[in-house]
Amino acid sequence: MLDQEQGIAGRKEQVELKLQQRNQMREVQVEAARTARSTAGQESTEDLVVQFYRDMEPMVEEMENMLKQSSLLPVGEVNSHLDLIVVKLQKMQEFVTEAGMFLPPYDVKKSQNTMSSLNTQFQEMQEEVKPKKKFGFKKCKQKTAVAAPVTAPDISSLSVVDASPGYSSSNSCSLSNLTDQTVVLTREQVEARDVSLDHLTNCRVEIQGPPSTLHMSSMTNCTILSGPVSTSVFVDICTSSTLSISCQQMRTHRTTKTDIYLHTTAKAILEDCSEVRVAPYSWSYPGMEKDYVRAGLEREVNHWEQIGDFNWLALDKHSPNWSILPVDQRRLDWSQT
């Protein structure tokens, strides 16, 4: 029995070491690609995207093989095998999240769909090898998802939908095609979920909780106030709006005339943007401090003014596409007017 446990621990260490070595190799390759592009006077994400898929494909293949092996293992090895899969999925999710800094929106969505598919396969496999335990867990989660809209019955357009559940119990919460609406999403509706906002016009949305990710697209004249996002925020086609965002990292595409009050623990990225102004994050709501703990964000670390513009290569001149929002123009009162 002791030899078996030592063997399991050894396998787990080998998986973690392999992932660590792969990530280190990728970091070296990414940095080399950046240096080469800088020397050539170019700043394209194409090379990084190609390298991302080169790294991602063998990870997916290895995970699929591990999932197939699950039903063939002796009963005594099932739990340890599941633990190894969870570790692997977590590392893969971190890899995909970090890649969101340079992946185009299409590739971000594609990679997230891949992770969603793997998470679904894991849950189905887990139900097969451990049906009783999984049934109880899933039933509990369904109750939580159904109860969420009850907290805001007046929001007819709110969709809180069970997405493909993964090892982190991922759900999604979405708002779309709204005009002249004010919506408050509660902690129960967004915590650890992927929140999506799209095609909103003249809307105010408050996210009073810690989402896993936040996606915004096709926003016009909106005010979006978000609690701490545990991973990434992606913005695409946002015009004449005000965003208050706290996250690990943010990438913004095709956005104009928009003010961003930002808290980010990593350098934010702009691409194909203009007239973007940034200021320190200043919105608050009851229970925010606990949400920072839940999200795992370091509130005291904020690189809000460190912006990388993929469309501006000059090192001796500031990008004309973004600026610091003057102090006397910053919003202090976030209450509705």
Q: How far is Cα 119 from Cα 140, in angstroms, rounded to an integer?
A: 18
Q: How far is Cα 249 from Cα 182, in angstroms, rounded to an integer?
A: 26
pLDDT for position 24: 67
Lowest mean per-residue pLDDT among 61-65, 139-143, 251-255: 139-143
Q: Do the beta carbons of residue 270 and residue 321 sit within 8 Å?
A: yes
For residue 238, give the nearest of 264, 199, 204, 296 by alpha carbon: 199
pLDDT for position 327: 96
pLDDT for position 82: 87
Q: What does the pLDDT look like over 142-183, one tens digit per residue?
A: 333 343 333 333 333 343 333 333 323 346 788 999 999 999
pTM for the model: 0.56
pLDDT for position 5: 55
Does pLDDT of 87 surpass 50? yes
Lowest mean per-residue pLDDT among 16-20, 157-161, 210-214, 315-319: 157-161
- How confident is residue 321, by pLDDT bands cut at 50, 70 and 90? very high
Which are the contacts of 196, defined by CB distance < 8 A and separation ≥ 6?
172, 173, 174, 175, 176, 214, 215, 216
Mean residue pLDDT of the chain comes to 79
pLDDT for position 274: 96
Helices 131-147 and 105-129, axial angle in degrees (round to 10): 130
Tally helices (H) and strands (E) across the chain: 7, 15
Average confidence (pLDDT) over 15-36? 61
